[in-house]
Chain A
Amino acid sequence: MATKKKKSPLSFLFNKGAMDVPFFIILMTIVTIGLIMLFSASYTYSYYFRTSSTELFTKQLIYCGIGILGMLLVSRIRYEYFKVFSFVVAGVSVILLIIVRLLPDSVQPGFYRWIDLGFITFQPSEIAKLGLIMFLAFCLEQHHKGVVGKVPSDLGVCRFVENASNGKYVIYKSFTSTIAYGFFILLFAVLVLIENHVSGAVLMLAIGVIMLFLGEVKNKWFIVGVVVAVFAVILFVMNPDLLKEYAGERIVAWLDKDYEPLGARWQTNNSLYAIGSGGFLGTGLGQSKQKHLYVSEPQNDFIFSIVCEELGFVGATAIILLFALLVYRGIKIGLRAKDRYGALLAMGIVFQVGVQVALNIAVVSDFIPNTGISLPFFSYGGTSLVILLCEMGIILSISRSARKKD
């Protein structure tokens, strides 16, 4: 019997569609495993450097609760309302990135990544990632025709070129807008870079490129991009001196496996010892030995090495599979979104998580040079977790207003 529910005054804000259950289940599985592993990985560190061995876990648990509540709330909100704020979020991100660079390096000398509000510290780059995704999703939807089609640019310069060459050289919108997007992506990346946060900048670039790719920017750009990227990587690997001191040293330490075992490679070596110790089935939950202060701050960026040690190859592969499923499900949600903005936003967010996972595991297993990327839903960090979960809420919100099969 359909009895009409009483309408809430704010009902225009809410979406009553069903959320994507598989995505939610996968996500909650990851979050749960992440919490358990955080508990296991952090208790030694917490025991030695905090008031109690469960302090870090308890904090993370509280933030996780807040995050999940936030996620459920966000998932209820029609994502069209976020769309409106796309530019605002992007703008605030840029402002925050500038502010953080101007603040003193109080959290870690030489690094300007954190804003300390007293009761919480957070990284503006976490918000900036979302800001960039929202900004690009908005633009790529709005300018879809220009990006995809052969529409001559109506910029003065372009007109001039066209006229001067008698229509021989036409500058299309696809060219000018891609240049513009590239500029914005670079702006974000550079702002993160000057925080002394190379991995954040790399992540920013990666997100930008994926967004452009999904936003159907022409293929030739990616061919050029890949060539440039390959050359850049070769250049920096061959000449680590060209990079700033600490980044260059990390490349050296990655290339030379015997480099400063107690210095630059201590962290990586101990991570490898932990991973190797796990073997096929692992030492068992809680049984890691390397977490006893050998892997430095095992609850942060290197938590995955403890996962590998305790859960073994089987457990590690299962977790990687879960993340792959999460990304896949996120893409599915995106492709079923009712508009391109939703599609780009969902896929952008889910790929952001995916790229971060891939890079983190690559760092931990010495597949790429050591750089500070945390493992989403696993690494310790309250605000980061809350932001991540809220982003998941956005995806769930998009899933709620999915198109019916057409």
Chain B
Amino acid sequence: MNRKPTKRMELRSLIAFGIFCAFLLCLVGNLFWLQIINGEEYRLKAEKNQLSDTVVNANRGTIYDSNMKVLAQSASAWLVYINPSKIKTDEQKTLLVDGFVEIFDLDPETVTKKVNRSESGYEKIIGQIDNAQKDALKEYLSKHKDQKLNTIVGIDPDTKRYYPLGSFASTVLGFTGSEDTGRSGLELKYNDILTGEAGRIITAKNALSGEMPNDYETTYDAEQGKSLVLTIDEVIQYYLEQQLSQAIEETQAKYAYGIVMDVKTGAILGMSTMPDYDLNSPYKIYSNSVLEEISKIEDSAQKSQAESNALFSQWRNRVVSDSYEPGSVFKLFVAAAGLEEGAITTTSTYNCTSSIKVANYYQHCYNHKAHGTQTVAEALPNSCNTFFITLGQKLGKYTFNKYFEAFGFTEKTGVDLPSEAAPAPNKTYYTVDRMGIAELSSASFGQTFQATPIQMITAVASLGNGGKLMTPYIVDKVLDEDGNIVSETEPKVKRQVISEKTADIMCDLMEQVVVWGTAKNAYVAGYHVAGKTGTSEKLNTDDQCIASFAGFAPANDPQIAVLIAVDEPQYYATGGSGAAPVAGRIFENILAYLNIDPQYSDKEMAQATVTAPNLVGVESAKVRSKASGFTVKVVGSGETVVSQMPSANQSMPKNGVIVVYTEENAEKQTATVPNLIGLTLADANRLAVNSGFNIKIAGTTQGAGQVLSYKQSIPAETTAESGAIITVYFRSSENVTD
């Protein structure tokens, strides 16, 4: 029997081997597809699995005011996340949802959604939680240790932004949203600088989330956020906000906004839009009237839309983002252009008959008043419309527009704040080719175009600094984490708009406006305030106006520019009655704070001295209100005042000290007399009042140079009765030798 393998078997074995090889070839082809063609894709997927990528958050920088007072700061907090792919059982899911809802007061639906994303490796549950909440979570996790929740839940360091002063400068500073990113204001504008760059540590991990023994570890260091030092001065900002709030209270205006600027540099010392909001809880609507309106809306979609609108309105920095018709304040620039171009001189006159016919219409002065023959030095204080219409026409639209542009009304100021309103040709102002005689005439007294408050104050400041239009700025310095200066803002001159000479004339003219003109409510004795008021109708709102004041002080050496606008005052208010007094109070506070000494005229000096009120017999409780303006020191616990120092009707400084005694035979209060020699008037006064004394000014306080004290009636270092009047003698150090 031939048992040899047959030919057929050989053939069949080759066929079988052929099929086998064909199959192997398919497999090799498949491997080629997987490894060569799609290898990269799989490799990335594998890496995503294998690498544990830990983010090391950079600390957000701090925001300081110019005195290094903290305005915004990040504090450490915690962030909770889960790895839903590690969830094995429904019981774990339920525990997680219950726990998060209970501890963090979250919406159960949202949490459930996150927990159910089983293919996801990372779902953030909540950020910016404090230690107490973190501890509560940890306790919850350890309570359910048997469910191994801690393999699912992770807690990472996070930061939370705090604004120690609450609503302070809120529309300027802005706030941060989730993920620690700026949402508005400086927080938004300087987000990149403040944020820094988060670092990462990338390590390999195995499927049990343990470390994979591998040299693959890459660390990217976190670059800490940088800090900002603002030009904003906490004290100035405080005065500004206080006065604006008061203005709203007095006039029931919808908004009031103001800017305080360093005339010489363009640095913004204060900026505010009132009403404001608390930066620590920006999502709350603070206006009661708005809340009331919203509560009336029934449709839920409309309601949430209204809520969102209200919030955006609340956060809006109107000083930069809104524009308004500047009205008569703009006459300053027409006057400056007229003087610069020689269209008028300080002596040229014009006769105002209360109205002027412009293209078939009559344009009137305010209240149809006829101002008669006047120079620019009278027309400006009178805010005479016809004068400026005539002047505008005389300049012609080309020259008018040249100055309109030169003073910066056709461009953004470039202030380092977000969402500055951009002037739009033929929308917010007329271009030359669209401007007719009627538009030119109206524009000459500040109507038919719009400007932002920041544009206005920048232009006004140029009148006070010798004609230089500055670029306003609010961030003075950028500091690194160790406090080293990374960059410092240099004041930037945009252009010379008018000559220094014209600017000086403007200062004088503007001071006249405050001394006797429409802005007299901004007058502060000794501080030579210069300015201009404006009251403009709002074109888009019926019967509403914006009352504004813009000016600077002291007129002989301008330091501080102030713009105040009261938007839609409900009680009758004009620039002169509504805005100028606010500005006056701000000037008074700020200039004193900045140690800019008042320079009183003799007349002012007389006004600065008053007679002491008679407080004897007044009830102790009422003595302070009876003697408002004075610093009153009550000694003893009697019910009525029995004696006072200085005594009634004695002449004493306006803001001096009065010591009142409520008990008979009470021991007289005494204090050590300070050395008042070699001081300016303001310093001497401050020091005396702080020590419990009054000064009586003797000698001259007028003069261009320094006026210093050289003698005092009660010698220094002696003891004297509190409230006593010390005569201090002053003399000027300049122009006294010849």
The reply on B649 being an interface residue by CB < 8 A is no
* A44 is an interface residue with CB less than 8 A from chain B: yes
Bound complex: CA A43 to CA B14 (Å): 40
Identify the closest chain B residue to A48 (Cβ). Answer: B208
Report how far A270 CA is from B207 CA in the complex, Å: 11
In the complex, identify which listed stretch (B4-12, B106-114, B129-137, B236-244) lies at the interface while the others stay far away. B4-12
Report B-chain residues with C-beta under 8 Å of the C-beta of A339.
3-5
Q: Are B46 and A141 in contact (CB under 8 A)?
A: no
Point out the residues of chain B lying under 8 angstroms from A331, CB to CB.
Answer: 13-14, 17
Let me know if B496 is at the binding interface, CB within 8 A.
no
Give Cα A365 to B38, complex, Å.
13
Given A293-B206, A335-B9: 10 more A-B contacts, CB < 8 Å: A213-B16, A276-B41, A277-B39, A279-B35, A279-B39, A293-B208, A351-B16, A365-B30, A367-B26, A367-B30
B13: which of A44, A347, A355 is its contact (CB, 8 Å)? A347
Q: Which residues of A contact B46 (CB under 8 A)?
A: 270, 273-274, 276-277, 289-290, 294
19 contacting pairs across A/B (C-beta < 8 A): A215-B9, A216-B9, A273-B49, A274-B46, A275-B34, A279-B40, A279-B43, A280-B36, A289-B46, A289-B214, A290-B46, A294-B50, A313-B31, A323-B24, A335-B5, A340-B5, A341-B3, A354-B20, A358-B20
- On whether the beta carbons of A276 and B38 are closer than 8 Å, the reply is yes
Residue count of chain B within 8 Å CB distance of chain A: 46
- Most chain A CB within 10 A, of B12, B42, B206, is at B42
B146 on interface, CB distance cutoff 8 Å: no
In the complex, chain A residues whose CB is within 8 Å of the CB of B15? 213
Contacts A277-B39, A289-B46, A324-B21 hold; do A313 and B32 have CB atoms under 8 A apart?
Answer: yes
- The answer to whether B16 and A210 touch across the interface, beta carbons within 8 angstroms, is yes
Contact between chains at B206 and A292 (CB < 8 Å):
yes
B3 touches A365 (CB 8 A): no
Chain A's closest residue to B45 (CB) is A273
Per the bound structure, the CA–CA distance linking A149 and B26 in Å amounts to: 36
In the complex, what residues of A have CB within 8 A of residue B85's CB?
262
In the complex, the answer to whether B20 meets A327 with C-beta atoms within 8 Å is yes
> Is B542 an interface position by the 8 A CB rule?
no
A45 → B minimal CB distance (Å): 10
Residue-wise, chain A 347-371 has the 8 Å CB interface mask toward B (1 for contact) of: 1000100110010011001010000
CA–CA, A304 to B513, complex, Å?
Answer: 93
Q: Which of B12, B31, B41 contacts A365 (CB 8 A)?
A: B31
> Is B297 among interface residues, defined by CB-CB distance under 8 A?
no
User: What is the CA–CA distance of A278 and B34 in the complex, to the nearest angstrom?
Assistant: 9
A69 at the interface (CB under 8 A from B): no
Task: Name the residue in B39, B85, B118 with the highest tally of chain A Cβ atoms < 10 Å from its Cβ.
Answer: B39
Mark A286-323 against chain B: 1 for CB-CB distance below 8 A, else 0. Answer: 00011011100000000000001000110011001001
Q: Chain B residues with Cβ under 8 A from A127's Cβ?
A: none
Once A44-B206, A351-B16 are accepted as A-B contacts, the answer to whether A278 and B39 lie under 8 Å apart by CB is: yes
The minimal Cβ–Cβ distance linking A203 to chain B, given in whole angstroms, is 14
Instruction: Say yes or no: A328 contacts B35, CB within 8 Å.
Output: no
Selected from B12, B24, B26, B45, the residue in CB contact (under 8 A) with A213 is: B12
**Residues of chain A contacted by B24 (CB below 8 angstroms):** 320, 323-324, 358, 361
For the complex, give the distance between the alpha carbons of A316 and B29 in Å.
11
B710 within 8 A of A: no
Q: How far is the CA of A289 from the CA of B213 in the complex (A)?
A: 10
Contacts of A358 in B (CB 8 A): 20, 23-24, 27
Q: Any chain B CB within 8 A of the CB of A261? A: yes
A353 CA to B6 CA, complexed, in Å: 23
* CB nearest neighbor in A for B88: A262
Which residues in A have their C-beta under 8 angstroms from that of B208?
48, 293
Q: What residue in chain B is nearest A272 (Cβ atoms)? A: B42
A272-B34, A272-B42, A337-B5 are known contacts. Are A294 and B49 too (CB-CB below 8 A)? yes
Min CB gap A60→B, angstroms: 22
Closest B residue, CB atoms, query A217: B12
Instruction: Name A317's contact: one of B20, B31, B38 (CB within 8 Å).
Output: B31
Contact status B207-A292, CB under 8 Å: yes
Residues B212 and A289 in contact, CB atoms below 8 Å apart: yes
Please tell me which one of the listed residues A44, A216, A276 contacts residue B35 in the complex, with CB atoms under 8 A apart.
A276
Smallest CB-CB separation from B38: which chain A residue?
A: A276
Contact indicator A276/B28 (Cβ below 8 Å) = no
A85 and B5 alpha carbons, distance in the complex (Å) = 21
Bound Cα distance A167, B632 (Å): 143
On whether A340 and B32 interact (CB within 8 A), knowing A216-B9, A261-B119, A262-B85, the answer reads no
A317 surroundings in chain B (CB, below 8 A): 28, 31
Interface residues of B (CB under 8 A from A): 3-6, 8-10, 12-17, 20-21, 23-24, 26-28, 30-32, 34-36, 38-43, 45-46, 49-50, 85, 118-119, 204-208, 212, 214
Is A343's CB under 8 angstroms from B5's CB?
yes
- Smallest Cβ-Cβ distance to B50: which chain A residue: A289
Query: Which residues of the partner chain A approach B17 to less than 8 Å between Cβ atoms?
Result: 327-328, 331
Provide the residues of chain A in CB contact with B30, threshold 8 Å: 362, 365, 367
A403 within 8 A of B: yes
Given A262-B119, A270-B49, A365-B34, A277–B4 Cβ distance below 8 Å? no
Instruction: Assess whether A214 is interfacial by the CB under 8 Å rule.
Output: yes
What's the nearest-Cβ distance from chain B to residue A328, in Å? 6
Tell me whether A361 and B27 are in contact (CB under 8 A): yes
Q: Closest B-chain residue to A343, C-beta based?
A: B5
B13 and A294: CB pair below 8 A? no
Q: Are the CB atoms of A273 and B42 closer together than 8 Å?
A: yes
> Contact: A141 with B3, CB < 8 Å?
yes
Instruction: Indicate whether A334 reaches chain B with its CB closer than 8 angstroms.
Output: yes
Residue of A nearest to B51 (CB): A289
CA gap between A361 and B24 in the complex, in Å: 9
Do B4 and A313 have beta carbons less than 8 Å apart? no
CA distance A343 to B13 in the complex (A): 10
Chain B residues near A403 (CB-CB < 8 A):
4
- CB within 8 Å for A276 and B34 given contacts A324-B24, A339-B3: yes
CB-defined contacts of B205 to chain A, threshold 8 Å: 292
Inter-chain contacts of A214 with B (CB < 8 A): 9, 12-13, 16
Which of A215, A292, A312 has the most B CB atoms < 10 Å from its CB? Answer: A292
| Cα of A31 to Cα of B38 in the assembled complex, Å | 30
Q: Smallest CB-CB separation from B33: which chain A residue?
A: A365
Could you tell me the distance in whole angstroms from the C-beta of A164 to the nearest C-beta in chain B? Answer: 33
A343 pairs with B9, CB closer than 8 A: yes
| CB-based contact A340/B4 at 8 Å | yes
Q: Which residues of B contact A141 (CB under 8 A)?
A: 3
Which residues in B have their C-beta under 8 angstroms from that of A262?
85, 118-119
Min CB gap A225→B, angstroms: 13
Q: Are B36 and A313 in contact (CB under 8 A)?
A: yes
Contacts of A278 in B (CB 8 A): 35, 39
Query: Which 6 A-B residue pairs are closest in the complex by CB-CB distance?
Result: A276-B42, A273-B46, A292-B206, A293-B207, A339-B3, A343-B5
Query: CB within 8 A of A216: which of B6, B20, B43?
Result: B6
List chain B residues, Cβ under 8 A from A276.
Answer: 34-35, 38-43, 45-46
Which residues of the partner chain B approach A324 to less than 8 Å between Cβ atoms? Answer: 20-21, 24
With A313-B32, A320-B27, A358-B23 as known contacts, state yes or no: A340 contacts B9, CB within 8 Å.
yes
| Residue of A with least CB distance to B13 | A331
Nearest Cβ distance between residue A46 and chain B, in whole angstroms? 13
The reply to whether B204 and A289 form a contact with Cβ atoms under 8 Å apart is yes
CB of B208, distance to nearest CB on chain A (Å): 6
Give A30-54 interface residues, CB cut-off 8 Å to B: 44, 48
Min distance, Cβ A377 to any Cβ of chain B, angstroms: 16
Report the minimal beta-carbon distance from A74 to chain B, rounded to whole angstroms.
Answer: 21
From residue A401, how far is it (CB to closest CB) to chain B in Å? 12
Partner among A215, A216, A261, A292 whose Cβ is within 8 Å of the Cβ of B50: A292
